[in-house]
């Protein structure tokens, strides 16, 4: 319930994999009201992206466009109505939203 509610899990447009040099080396940052709250790199993931896809596909039928949510860098905290979020992933772009 803490992560699954109306308007949760906003996503950007899909980016073709050919445009990503190395998915295991992407800097990930989240700003809340212009203050850095979370920062990490996909290189710090416990399991590699190919291992995650392999494990998931052994259990579920994966199809083009499916999304695997894997966790988040340290710094998770409560959001409140009116907060402005800006998520940035190197090579991929920025997603900005307002919490309501």
The structure tokens listed for 71 are: 């966790």
Give residue 92's region: left, alpha or beta (phi > 0; psi -120 to 50). alpha
Per-residue pLDDT tens digits for 48-96 = 999 999 999 999 999 988 999 888 888 989 889 899 999 999 989 999 9
The structure tokens listed for 96 are: 């900005």
Q: For residue 1, what pLDDT is reported?
A: 66
How far apart are the C-alpha atoms of 15 and 98, rounded to whole Å? Answer: 22
Options 3.90.180.10, 3.10.105.10, 3.90.850.10, 1.10.1740.10; CATH for 22-98 is 3.90.850.10
Longest dimension (CA), the chain: 41
Q: For residue 20, what pLDDT is reported?
A: 92
CA atoms within 13 A on the CB side of 20: 15
Per-residue pLDDT tens digits for 12-59 = 888 888 999 999 999 999 999 999 999 999 999 999 999 999 999 999
Predicted TM-score of the model (pTM) = 0.84
26-36 in b/e form (b: 16+ CB < 10 A) is bebbbbbeeee
Q: For residue 17, what pLDDT is reported?
A: 86
Q: For residue 4, what pLDDT is reported?
A: 75
């Amino acid at each position: 319930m803490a992560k699954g509610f109306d308007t949760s899990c906003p996503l950007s447009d899909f980016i073709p994999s050919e445009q990503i040099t190395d998915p295991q080396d992407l800097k990930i940052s989240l700003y809340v009201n212009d203050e850095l709250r979370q920062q990490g790199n996909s290189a710090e993931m416990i399991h590699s992206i190919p291992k995650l896809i392999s494990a998931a596909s052994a259990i579920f039928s994966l199809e083009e466009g499916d999304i695997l949510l894997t966790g988040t860098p340290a710094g998770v905290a409560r959001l409140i109505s009116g907060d402005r979020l800006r998520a940035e992933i190197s090579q991929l772009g920025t997603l900005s939203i307002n919490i309501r």
